[in-house]
Amino acid sequence: MRPEKEPGAEVEIWQPDWNCFCCHDSGIVHHYLAALVIDGFDSNLDKLPRCHNPGCYAGGHFDGEVLAPSVDYRLTADICQELDAIERENWRDYVQKKRLTLKVDLSTIGKSLRQCQRTSTEERSARQKHQAVLGKLNGLC
C-alpha cells in the first residue's frame, strides 16, 4: 500500500533526500542549529560540531586522527535528537508555507474576467475578428 495514494493524502512538494535533519547527512550539525545550543557559536571560528543523532552515521569519517582536532564532540545524542526534532518542525513549516504560496484557485480557470456579458454588437465583432484570424492562419498553411 502507498499512503500517498490514499484519498485525502497530502503529497509532499519536495521530499528531502537526507535521513538526519540535524546534519542533513553531512555529519556536521548545521550552524544555525549549533548556535541554538553552543553559546557564541561562530561557524567560521569554532570547531565543527559533530552529529551524534542515533541512527546517523554520516560523521564517522571525522573521527580519524587527521580531522579529530577540528571536530567538537560535546554534543550528545540527546541534544542531536532535539536539534533533529527542531529542524523537522522547521521543515514542516517551510512545506506548509510553500503549499500556501503555490495553492491556485482552479475555479477561476476558463471564466471570463468581464463584469458583464457582451452585447450583440460586441459578440458579432469578436466573431468576425476570430474568423479573420482563422482565415489568415489557413492561408499560411
106 compared with 30, residue with greater pLDDT: 30
84 compared with 104, residue with greater pLDDT: 84
CA distance 49 to 27: 9
pTM confidence score: 0.63
Q: Kindly write down the DSSP assignment for every residue of 86-140, as one continuous string.
A: HHHHHHHHHHHHHHHHH---GGGTT----SSPPPHHHHHHHHHHHHHHHHHHHHH
pLDDT band at 11 (very low <50, low <70, confident <90, very high): low
120 phi, psi to nearest 5 deg: -65, -35
- What is the pLDDT at residue 19? 92
CA distance 57 to 55: 6
DSSP structure class, residue 45: T
* 42 pLDDT more than 80: yes
Among 23, 32, 90, residue whose Cα is nearest residue 52: 23
* 109 pLDDT more than 80: no
CA distance 3 to 12: 12
